Structure 1
Amino acid sequence: MAETHDLFVTRIYRADDIAPAKLNRELEAVAMSLSMDDVAGLRWCDKHGYPGYTSYASLNDLPWRFPEFERLVKLIDKHALAYAKQLHWDLRGMKPVCDSLWVNVMPEGGSHTSHIHPNSVISGTYYVAVPEGAGPIVYEDPRLGFHMAAPPRKKNAPEAFKSHVHFSPKVGTLMLWESWLRHEVPLNRAEGNRISVSFNYCLG
């Protein structure tokens, strides 16, 4: 008798509609204001060829500056803890703590190439504005570099067997993943800005 075992789980956490519509509108207004007024951030984006705007390299205290982000972090905290429990981590009295948080305003034609988030344990994105046709977030099989001569997967293979998995968010969607997982944002083909809030959690 033969049997197979599914091992080494890579778990992605998704929750929809985690924040009230009023908070989304407020976050969008702040994000658009920052995308016009954050001179240091705009300068960094221009220097590094980043399409649109991100506060990643300019503002590291958004929850302190704006109560809207402070409220968002409190909502995400609950989900980060639930996710950590699903991962069966031995937290040893600690809990996930938001270490950094930044805004992304991606216009039509923008994209974000494949990357990871070092020096953290949980990373994620909350979606504030998602125009129709906006690109998904794509996760890459972390074993991809070790596949060597393995044949490609069938196009209709189950999700767990795919080398790249796409998630299409909507306004109010929260995505969490372990920070070592490589991910990317393909070309935004939608008219209008795709606005998101990305963040990292460490244990504290």
Structure 2
Amino acid sequence: MRETPAGSLLQVFVTETYRIDLAGTSVDPLLTRLAAACHRLAAEDVAGQAWSKAKTYQGYTSYGSILDLTVIDPAFVELRQLIENQTLTYARCLELDLQGKVPKLYNMWINILDPGGGHTGHNHPLNAFSGTIYLETPPGSGDLDLEDPRQPFLMHAPPRRADAELFRKTFISVTPKRGTLLLWESWLRHQVGVNTGNGKRLSISFNLDM
């Protein structure tokens, strides 16, 4: 019997996210300024405190109270430029046809997540790119969990082995640290893991469009 030649795998429909770690770089002083501004706003934003409580958010978020952080503190203006520049780099890595446009920040909001807090699975409709920059990440304060977007269609698909390659898994957990900036396309479903530590996690999330 003749030997059959080995076949090959063709990777298709790849989902690529983007990560850059900024602690210890020239951006580090901005991280410190952003953290200070976030804590100041969390203490002063009575409307945001009330909104967070009404939505049972375990901690504080400015999502429902402050429309434009850039008018409050110049550190957020610098952050906007950083986010837009990094997102343009990400879009080019993805070989997207931007048709002469560049990603522009649509909104951003502060998240201070208390121990026991998390955020269930969701995506960000009506945006092109989304992401988070992490400013304080105490031990155990929660990962970002990414979900295979094909999950609803995996009918009768055997589960992946526990030791499967990262790109073959259907759920991936990303552990951020101070200064980590993560970007993904807004359709990608994700969730914030429960803060099982003793400290508060501070981050700023954002959306961009074209």
TM-score where L is the length of structure 2: 0.93
Q: Is 1:116–1:183's contact at 8 Å kept on the other side of the alignment? A: yes
SS of residue in 1 equivalent to 2:38? helix
Distance in 2 (alpha carbons) for counterparts of 1:10 and 1:59: 32
1:194 lines up with 2:172 in the alignment:
no
Distance in 1 (alpha carbons) for counterparts of 2:93 and 2:30: 27
Q: CA deviation at 1:31?
A: 1.1
Q: CA deviation at 1:19?
A: 5.8
Structure 1, unaligned runs of 5 or more:
none
Match of 1:5 among 5, 10, 19: 10
Q: Which runs of 4+ in 1 moved over 6 A?
A: none
Counterpart residue number, 1:167:
174
| Amino acid in structure 2 at the alignment position of 1:127 | Y
Note the 1:1-204 alignment, pairs <5 A: 1=5, 2-17=7-22, 20-203=27-210
| Amino acid in structure 2 at the alignment position of 1:5 | L
Question: Which structure has the larger Rg over C-alpha atoms?
Answer: 2
Question: Per the alignment, do residues 54 and 19 of structure 1 end up closer, same or farther by CA in structure 2, a change over 3 Å counting?
Answer: farther
Structure 2, unaligned runs of 5 or more:
none
SS of residue in 2 equivalent to 1:36? helix
Identity %: 42
Distance in 1 (alpha carbons) for counterparts of 2:118 and 2:208: 24
Deviations 1:4-26 (A, max 9, x none): 21100101100001663322222
Q: Is 1:104–1:196's contact at 8 Å kept on the other side of the alignment? A: yes
Q: Is 1:114–1:184's contact at 8 Å kept on the other side of the alignment? A: yes
| Amino acid in structure 2 at the alignment position of 1:105 | I
Distance in 2 (alpha carbons) for counterparts of 1:110 and 1:127: 16
Q: CA deviation at 1:64?
A: 1.8
TM-score where L is the length of structure 1: 0.96
| Amino acid in structure 1 at the alignment position of 2:144 | I
Distance in 1 (alpha carbons) for counterparts of 2:9 and 2:178: 39
Matched residues, number: 203
State the Cα RMSD in Å.
1.2
